[in-house]
Every structure is written in C-alpha cells, then in structure tokens.
Amino acid sequence: MSILSVKGLQKIYTTRFGGNKVEALRDVNFEVEKGEYVAIMGESGSGKTTLLNILAGLDKPTRGSVVLDGKDMASVKESAMAAFRRDNLGFVFQEFNLLDTFSIEDNIYLPLVLAGKSHREMRERLEPLAIELGIWDLLKKYPYEVSGGQKQRTAVARALITEPKLILADEPTGALDSKSTEELLRLFAEINMRGQTILMVTHSVKAASNAGRVLFIKDGEVYHQLYRGSSTAEEFYQKISNTLTIIATGGER
Amino acid sequence: MKAGFYSRIAITGMRQNRRLYVPYLLACTGMVMMGYIVYFLSVSSAVRSMSGGATVSAMMSLGYFIMMIFTAIFLFYTNSFLIRRRKKEFGLYNILGMGKRNIGRVLLMETLITAAVSIGAGLILGAVFSKLAELAMVNMIGGDISYSISVSLTAMAITAMSFCIIYALIFINGLRQIHTSNPAELMRSENVGEKPPKANLLLGIGGIILMAGAYYMAVSIKNPLSALTWFFVAVAMVIIATYLIFIAGSVLMCRLLQKNKRYYYKPNHFVSVSSMVYRMKRNGAGLASICILATMVLVMITGSACLYFGAEDSLHARYPKDISAEITLSDFNSVNEEKISLFRNIVDEVIDESHEKVRERVEYCDATVSGINRDGTIVLDADDGDINDMDRIVNFVFVSVDDYNRITGNDYHIAGNQVMTYGVRTDYDESRLTFEDGTEFEIVKKLDSFFVSGNTAMDVVPTIAVVVPDLKESLGGLSAHLKDIDQGLRIHWYTGFNTDGDETEQRQFTGKLEGRLRAEAIDGNDDIYSYSCESLEANRSDFYATYGGLFFLGIILSIIFLCATVLIIYYKQISEGYEDESRFEIMQKVGMTKRNIRRSINSQMLTIFLLPLAMAVIHLAFAFPMIEKLLLLFNLVNLKLLLATAGVSVLIFALFYMVVYKVTSQVYYNIVSGKRAETR
C-alpha cells in the first residue's frame, strides 16, 4: 500500500522581474510504500530541495499532485497546512533547527504543545522515545550544552513524537562527524525496522546506502532508481557510486 | 565621487533598516520641534511682555536646559539599538575590505543625514507649532492674546546648535563601538546565545524589602517638609528596587510559570514564556526602565496639572483677602489699644481717600514663635544642631480668644492655661503644650477652622495655631524668657478685606497705604519693626505664570518621557523580533500556524506591556500621600483634584500605550511570520 504518491510534479519559478522562468521540477513521478526507507539523491540544482519543500507543504507545485495517505495535499487549505504538517509529517534538518530558548525536553515537546496535547500524554510519549534515542539524561539541558550528534537525536525525537506518517529528512548527516553519522544512520534503520516510513534527501552515498531504495533526480526528473534488495550495505554503496558516476558523466539510463 | 559613494551606502543602509530608522528620525524631529518651542517661548516677546512673563521666560530657559539633558540621554539610548542592529552590516563591509575609517565615514554620512532631516523638519514644525504653544501659554497665564506670527532666529540657531552637539556625541559613541570590535565579532554581535539566567532569590528579596521600605516611608511621612527631603530618598529606593524586582523577579516569575506544567505547556504560553526566560536579564532591566519612565510621566503630569488647576486655591490660600496689611511690632509689651488704633486709622483714611468698597474686613493681633519639638517639650534655644531637628521644627501662632470669636463668630470661653489649637500641615495630638521655660498650656479643644494667614500658608514648616485667653497674660512668661535668650516674641497686627477693585485699583491702594506706613515708621514710631501691604490681584499673574509654566514644562517633559518609553518598548520588541525570526521560522516548519504565532506574540506582548504599566500605577498610588504632602507646600489641599488629575493622567497614558502596543505587535508579527513587504 502506498503512503505517498507523487504524480506529474512540475514546478516553475518565475524570477521577480518577469521574463526568466526556471523549471526546477519537470515531471516527477514516484510512490513510497508504507514502511519504506527511501533516499533521494541528486546534484545541487537538480530539484531535490524544491521537491522536499513541496512534499513538506512549504511550497505549491505548478502542476501535478502529491497524495499523502490518500489525501491530496492540494486540497489542504493554506490555514490548515501547518496543522496538517504537524500531524502527518516529521522533519529532520541538516542544521538540527533546535530552539536555543528551550531545553532538550521542551524542544521535543514543541509539536505536541502546538497540537494542544496534555502534559501527561506528552510525558508518556517522551519516555520510551528518549530512552531509545539515548537522550534521557540530557532532557533538562539546553541545546548549546550538548554535542551535534545529541542535537540531531533530539531533532529525531521531535520528529518521531507526533507519530507521523512520513519522516522527511533533509541532509540529516550533513553537519555531523563520521561517528555521529554512523549512529544516526543506525538509528534511522532501527526506526524503519519498526515500520516508520522515511524519505531522506542526501548527498552522502553512505547515508543513501543505508536506505532500501534510492531515487536519482536529474534535471527535474527521476532519472533512475536502485533497490537494495538483498545486497549488503557495501555492495549497495558500490552500486550507488557507480550510478552517480554514470549520471555525472552523462551515460545511458 | 567618493562622498557620493559613502552617502549612497548610508542612505541604502537607512532605507533597508527603515523599521528602525523611521521611528528614530520621527523621535529626533519631535525632540527638535519641542526644543525649539520651549526656547522660543523663553525669548518670545509676546510672552515676555505680559505680566508674569519674566517668570515664564526664566522657567522656559531652565526647562530648555533640563529638556536637552533628557533628550541627549534618550537619543543616546535609542541610537544604541540602531548601532547594535547595524553592526552585522558593518562587519560585512569590513570583511569585504572596507577599513574602519571608511565605515566611520559611512556612519558620519548617516549622522549628517539624520541631523539634516531632523533639524530641518523639526525647526519647520517647531515654527508652525510655536504660535500654538505661545497661545496656549498666554491663555494659561491669562494674558492678552496677539495673533501675529513670529519666528525666532535665535531660538532656531540655539536649538540647531544643541542638537548638533548631541548628534556629534552620538556619532563619537558609534565610532567608539566600531573601533573596539573586530569584524568576526561585528558579524556575530547579534546572535550571542546567552545562558538562561538563574533566578536570584537574594536580589529579588532585597528588591522587595527596599520597595516595602520606600512605600512605608511614602505612606507614613506626616510632615510636608520631611516629605520634601525624603521624597528623593524614596525615589532612589524605588528606582533601585524596581530594577532588582524586575531583574530577579521576572526570572523567578517565569521559572514558576515553567514549573506549572498545565500553564506552561499551552501553545500560546509555551513559546512566549520560554523566550522571556531566555532574555530575562535584559528584559528585566528594560522593563524596569519602562516602568520608571512611566512612573515619572505619571507623577510629573499629575503633580503639575494639579498645581495648575489648583492655582486659584493656592492663590486664595496665600492671599486670604484681596488687600491685606501687616505690621510687625518689635516689643511684645508695647502693644496697646492706642497704638493699634493709630494703625487702624491710617488704613481707614486710605480707604476713605481712595473710595474703596470694603467687604469682609478682618483685624486681629497674633504673636509668633518657632521652636523644636523634642519629646513633647518645645525647645526655643536650640543651637546644638541635632540633625533630626529638621523634622521637628514647629511654628506657633498665638491669637486671643476674643479675636478668634469675633472673626469666626464663635463664643468660646477659656481661662488660665487653657488653649484651643488648630494644626496647619500637621496634626498635633498631644493634650498639653509645654515650652522649655516651663510655660504650659492645656489643650481643651481642637478647632475645625482657623483664619490661616498668608504668611503661614506660604511657609513650609508645620504650624500650630493656638487660641489663648489673652495674649499678654498668657504669653508674658514666654516673652520674658525669649528676651533673656536674645530672641523675641514677634507680635503682628493684621488687617485685610475684600474689594471690588480691579488689579490697577488694588495696586494703587496698596501703593498708597505702603507710603503712609513708611512715613509712620520713619517718623519716630520705633515700635514698627516691619510692615507690608499686599494685594491678591497684583500677584495673580505671577501665580499663574509660575504654575502655568510648570504645567507647560510638565507636559513637554512628559511627552519626551513618553516618547522615550514608547521608543524603548518599540526597539526592544523589534530587536527581539529580529532575534526571534529564525526561531519562528523553525517553529513554523514543525507545525506552528500563523494563528499560534499571533497568539504567542499577544501573550508575550501583553505581559511586557502590562507589567511595567501596572507597576507604575502601583508606584503612583504609593507616591500619592507624598505628592499630597508636597502639594501642601504650595497651599494645595484639594484631594479630589489630585485624584482626578491622577486618574485622567493614567487613562491618557494607558490609551496611548495601547496604541503603541497594537503597532508594535503588528510590526513584530510581520517580522517573525516572515511577511517582509520591505526588502531587507
């Protein structure tokens, strides 16, 4: 059963003083099954960020549709979009985007508070999550007091606490050292094993090789895709590398 | 070419930061305008030529000076917000290869533009509104209104010069800030994440104790004279306490709010409380400043308005009768009916000559002495200079019961050492009155009314009027004692009456009477120690000039303080808005709706706006008894008037405040919700 269905997505930006039109996405089609772990790769300017913004409801497509769990996102009103995002999507950003005015605990609570949940319910949801993510001891600390890896795990906790249908991760390992990167990827794999659907945009072959499927975007279209299948992480890493080389050198599909 | 380059950078910078520069320019222009108006009034011939005009003129020159000091402080303060905001931009220029010297030139251009615009516009507006102010001033004092419009070049030059000096100082300060920081620091200066402060219980408690002390002082002081001295102590205490309470208290309050999970974890409280905690230290100081400025405005406008609207009361307290004459005799024992009738005849003759219509004439003798009340005994010969004596000085006015009965139409009988008393600016509630020489009176009645003389009314020292059976008999011992210690018991003969005569007639009359009394004093009547004649109408314009001038200055200073308050709040919120921008961006990404943003801004703004106002009103309430005492020094006892002016002041202030609140929260909202109509 597909949880996310993207059909014929096109996005054209018009520069401010008329005239120049830039086609960021030409015709993007793909589906994500429930429980899948999908990575999207592409060079800078390939339209990755535009795609993610549209999926997140932060931007509107020029043409085409995005259906999340049977609901067409175009039908969600502007005013209800924030609430829709909050209830259905979880975000993990490259720059963590934690608020330095909140403690770690309150940062994680943020989406629940915005949803008007009671403190007891928040606490009940937080406990197992914080223990699993290994940030239980940090809850009272502030973002400036913890390491980058810990910050990113906090961000993951914030994304997971609403029990979203889909996690959107934008270069989640971009600002992490290699050890923290490994940890985070292991964490994503674990979360995915439990049935959480993840869509990750990344530059990193290492991060992508962790996913179950990799979509390659080039010039505003899905150019190619790879399934991990039964291959090991090393083998998959090799496959992705090769594909990237072919794309970069302009080879056949 | 080069100059054009710098000015272009300066103009672009100002335009891009217009949210900050427009209010600053407006404030500067307003200050220039008010400066011109005040100086214009001090040199205006229309003001000078009216009676009492000299007083107004002197007051306005002093007022101008005070005003300039406050203006300089406020502009300095508001400018620091601008500099802090611009530092990043300057840092970028620096990294791109602009030397600090060049940045200094950009800053110079900015200052020159600000100065040119604000001084130019301010002087034009000032010239337009100065006539209005002049009319208001003349009308307040009750002079003749002329409608000719004049512009004072002197005032323009002086105002322009004063502001040039202020701008120069601000420029130098800006240079100093740029020179003492390096580019990396300049780039960063706005995003210094600070640790959330710990609540300092000790400071908070200290503040509360200090505040309680000041409040107690304000409420418990009975003596207007000590009110005058302690007023400034109380003010200082309140200012310190306000800072302590806001700095420590606000942190504490937010921490408590955070502890209350049910309150804290609500969408509109969550964000506002946490961001307030985060910036509490700065917030607290800012809030305290706002609170103190608000209190100053309220106290100043209440006091000066009350004085002005109560001027008629004060005038009549100071001059109980339209015309009055008083003769002070040097020797207590030489007073007799014969001498008094001599004086009376002189007055009668002058009345006959000038065909004055005399109404409500009174005449009496009183004797006065001052002493120090030490534990119930009145010490007359105190030269040991005890510091506490200041609060214990008491004047006594003795009147015979016959005079009292005749004037008030009562029929009291007292004898021996029985007396009746009436307290002015004091409630003397002992049952006996003992002087150091052993003279002792038994107070048998506290009187409800007394004909308080103008001199007593004018004095600042508490005065007890004592009605004795007979002046000579009752005070013989005291008089002899005073003579022994080289002092004397002053005795006065007083007469006063009302008349229908206008100011000129009254002046003529007092002039004539004074001439006769002078002749009498020179012509061998050694008993006359001094004499005086006064008329109410001759002094009316001076009274109104003083009080009207005070009121006018009160309004001008209040406007300046109000502007300062408003600007501080505005800049505080705006700079916080810029800091919060990225936070709200993140929160919007994780699902904060525009509605949530609105709500949390409202919750935060309301707290920030209401707290200082509420505190200021409490301050005013406790300052009330003190203001009342201080107004007593101006012979003003109209409590209703005081309450009314305070009420109206608070109302106007709150109204104005609400408007600013609305505007500020809108701008804040536009910043944090990413609605950027302006290019940044």
Q: Cβ separation of B593 and A79 shorter than 8 Å?
A: yes
Judged by CB atoms within 8 Å, which residues 259-278 of B form the interface with A? 261-262, 265-267, 270, 274-275, 277-278
Angle between helices B267-278 and B536-589 (to 10 degrees): 110
Residue B520, pLDDT score: 76
What is the CA angle A33-A34-A38, rounded to 5?
60
- Most confident residue range from A74-78, B120-124, B290-294: B120-124
Judged by CB atoms within 8 Å, which residues 412-431 of B form the interface with A? none
The count of C-alpha atoms lying within 13 angstroms of the C-alpha of B351, restricted to the half-sphere facing its C-beta, is 19
Residue B557, pLDDT score: 83
Residues paired with B535 in a beta bridge: B323
Residue B169, pLDDT score: 92
Does the structure show a pLDDT above 60 at B189?
no
Q: Taking the CB of residue B102, how many other CB atoms lie within 10 A of it?
A: 17
| Nearest residue of B to residue A160, measured between CA atoms | B590
Q: Cβ separation of B193 and A79 shorter than 8 Å?
A: no
**Among the partner residues B586, B589, B591, nearest to A83 by beta-carbon distance:** B591
Report the percent of chain B where pLDDT is more than 70: 92
**Per residue in A204-220, pLDDT tens?**
888 889 899 999 988 88
- Chain A residues touching residue B588 (CB < 8 angstroms): 82
Mean local confidence (pLDDT), B21-45: 88
**Among the partner residues B195, B274, B591, nearest to A85 by beta-carbon distance:** B591
Tokens encoding B396: 């006594």
In this structure, the strands spanning B359-374 and B432-435 are: unpaired
Chain B interface mutation, best of A52, A101, A151, highest count of B Cβ atoms under 10 Å? A101
- Most confident residue range from A75-79, A110-114, A211-215, B54-58: A211-215
| Domain ranges for chain B | 1-192, 199-319+538-680, 320-537
Is residue B121 within 8 A of residue B29, CB to CB? The reply is yes
Angle between helices B311-318 and B280-309 (to 10 degrees): 50
Q: Cβ separation of B586 and A101 shorter than 8 Å?
A: no
Q: Cβ separation of B590 and A144 shorter than 8 Å?
A: no
- Chain B residues touching residue A79 (CB < 8 angstroms): 593-595
A96 CB contacts (<8 Å, ≥6 apart)?
A143, A148, A151, A152, A154, A155, A175
Per the model's pLDDT, the better-predicted residue between B278 and B302 turns out to be B302
Q: Chains A, B: CB contacts under 8 A, how many?
A: 75
Q: Cβ separation of A113 and B267 shorter than 8 Å?
A: yes
**Among the partner residues A93, A110, A144, nearest to B587 by beta-carbon distance:** A110
**Per residue in B473-528, pLDDT tens?**
787 777 778 777 777 777 888 888 888 877 788 888 888 888 888 877 777 666 77
Residue B392, pLDDT score: 78
A213 φ, ψ to 5°? -150, 145
**Among the partner residues B193, B275, B591, nearest to A144 by beta-carbon distance:** B193
**Among the partner residues A86, A101, A118, nearest to B583 by beta-carbon distance:** A101
| Percentage helix, strand, coil for chain A under 3-state DSSP, each rounded to 5 | 40, 25, 35
Residues paired with A168 in a beta bridge: A91, A199
What is the CA angle B626-B628-B631, rounded to 5?
110
Token match 């709706």: residue? B593
Is residue B530 within 8 A of residue B328, CB to CB? The reply is yes
Q: Taking the CB of residue B461, how many other CB atoms lie within 10 A of it?
A: 16
C-alpha span between A241 and B363 (Å, rounded): 117
Per the model's pLDDT, the better-predicted residue between B437 and B155 turns out to be B155
Does the structure show a pLDDT above 60 at B195?
no
Residue B678, pLDDT score: 37
- The one-letter amino acid at A251: G
Residue B406, pLDDT score: 83
C-alpha span between A190 and A183 (Å, rounded): 11
Q: B336 in helix, strand or coil?
A: coil
pLDDT category of residue B183 using cuts at 50, 70 and 90: low
Token match 């150091």: residue? B436
Q: A226 in helix, strand or coil?
A: strand
Residues on chain A bordering chain B, Cβ-to-Cβ distance under 8 angstroms: 56, 58, 79, 82-83, 85-87, 91, 93, 97-102, 106, 109-111, 113-116, 118-119, 122, 142, 144, 158, 162
Q: In 3D, which of B52, B236, B251 has the Cα closest to residue B139? A: B52
B101 CB contacts (<8 Å, ≥6 apart)?
none
Q: Is A121 exposed, middle or buried (0-12, 13-18, 19+ CB in 10 A)?
A: exposed
- Chain B residues touching residue A114 (CB < 8 angstroms): 267, 270, 587, 590-593, 596
What is the pTM for the complete model shown? 0.74
Q: Cβ separation of B588 and A106 shorter than 8 Å?
A: no
**Burial call B375-386: b when 16+ CB within 10 Å, e when fewer:** eeebbbebeeee
| Nearest residue of A to residue B279, measured between CA atoms | A101
Per the model's pLDDT, the better-predicted residue between A169 and B145 turns out to be A169
A170 φ, ψ to 5°? -110, 105
The lowest-confidence range among B209-213, B288-292, B326-330, B633-637 is B633-637
A44 φ, ψ to 5°? -60, 135
ipTM value for the complex: 0.77
Residue B387, pLDDT score: 60
C-alpha span between B316 and B451 (Å, rounded): 12
Tokens encoding B240: 């310190």
- The one-letter amino acid at B578: Y
Angstroms from B676 CA to nearest CA on chain A: 15
A195 CB contacts (<8 Å, ≥6 apart)?
A34, A35
**Among the partner residues A82, A106, A122, nearest to B588 by beta-carbon distance:** A82
Residue B122, pLDDT score: 93
| Nearest residue of A to residue B276, measured between CA atoms | A101
* B65 in contact with A, Cβ within 8 Å: no
pLDDT category of residue B680 using cuts at 50, 70 and 90: very low
pLDDT category of residue B679 using cuts at 50, 70 and 90: very low
H helices present in A1-94, as ranges: 48-55, 78-88
Per the model's pLDDT, the better-predicted residue between B377 and B158 turns out to be B158
Residue B541: its H or E element: helix B536-589
| Nearest residue of A to residue B275, measured between CA atoms | A101
**Per residue in B113-135, pLDDT tens?**
999 999 999 999 998 888 888 88
Tokens encoding B230: 């302690």
| Nearest residue of A to residue B596, measured between CA atoms | A114
Residue B190, pLDDT score: 46
Q: Cβ separation of A101 and B277 shorter than 8 Å?
A: yes
Token match 């502001």: residue? B163
**Per residue in A181-212, pLDDT tens?**
888 899 889 889 988 999 999 888 888 898 99
Is residue A4 within 8 A of residue A67, CB to CB? The reply is yes
DSSP conformation letters of A163-213: --SEEEEESTTTTS-HHHHHHHHHHHHHHHHTT--EEEEES-HHHHTTSSE
Token match 């949801």: residue? A125
* B242 in contact with A, Cβ within 8 Å: no
Q: Taking the CB of residue A148, how many other CB atoms lie within 10 A of it?
A: 14
Is residue B618 within 8 A of residue B215, CB to CB? The reply is no
- Give CA torsion, residues A133, A137, A139, A143, to 10 deg: -90
Q: Cβ separation of A82 and B596 shorter than 8 Å?
A: yes
C-alpha pair distances (Å), B646 with each of B292, B306, B371, B563, B634: 16, 8, 36, 20, 18
Residue B55, pLDDT score: 77
Mean local confidence (pLDDT), B128-155: 78
Q: Cβ separation of A142 and B588 shorter than 8 Å?
A: no
| Nearest residue of B to residue A107, measured between CA atoms | B587
Chain centroid, CA B653 distance in Å: 16
* B583 in contact with A, Cβ within 8 Å: yes
Residue B118, pLDDT score: 93
Residue B385, pLDDT score: 62
The mean pLDDT value of chain B amounts to 81
C-alpha pair distances (Å), B667 with each of A213, B599, B663: 47, 14, 6
Q: In 3D, which of B23, B21, B29 has the Cα closest to residue B85? A: B21
Q: Is B589 exposed, middle or buried (0-12, 13-18, 19+ CB in 10 A)?
A: middle
**Per residue in B298-323, pLDDT tens?**
888 888 888 888 888 888 888 888 88
Q: Cβ separation of A114 and B596 shorter than 8 Å?
A: yes
Does the structure show a pLDDT above 80 at B570?
yes
- Chain A residues touching residue B267 (CB < 8 angstroms): 113-114, 116
B450 φ, ψ to 5°? -155, 150
DSSP conformation letters of B208-261: HHHHHHHHHHHHH---HHHHHHHHHHHHHHHHHHHHHIIIIIHHHHHHHHHH-H
Is residue B629 within 8 A of residue B306, CB to CB? The reply is no
- Chain A residues touching residue B265 (CB < 8 angstroms): 109, 113, 118-119, 122
- Chain B residues touching residue A82 (CB < 8 angstroms): 588, 591-594, 596
DSSP A14: E
C-alpha span between A231 and B469 (Å, rounded): 123
Tokens encoding A10: 């096109």
- The one-letter amino acid at B644: A
Tokens encoding B536: 């109410």
Residues paired with A169 in a beta bridge: A92, A200
**Per residue in A110-157, pLDDT tens?**
888 888 888 888 889 899 888 888 888 888 888 888 888 888 889 889
Is residue B517 within 8 A of residue B266, CB to CB? The reply is no
Sign of CA dihedral B116, B119, B123, B125: positive
Judged by CB atoms within 8 Å, which residues 179-238 of B form the interface with A? 193, 195-196
**Burial call A2-27: b when 16+ CB within 10 Å, e when fewer:** ebbbbeebebeeeeeeeeeeeebbee
C-alpha span between B40 and B130 (Å, rounded): 7
pLDDT category of residue B389 using cuts at 50, 70 and 90: low
Angstroms from B190 CA to nearest CA on chain A: 14
- Give CA torsion, residues B436, B437, B441, B442, to 10 deg: 60
C-alpha span between B89 and B12 (Å, rounded): 11
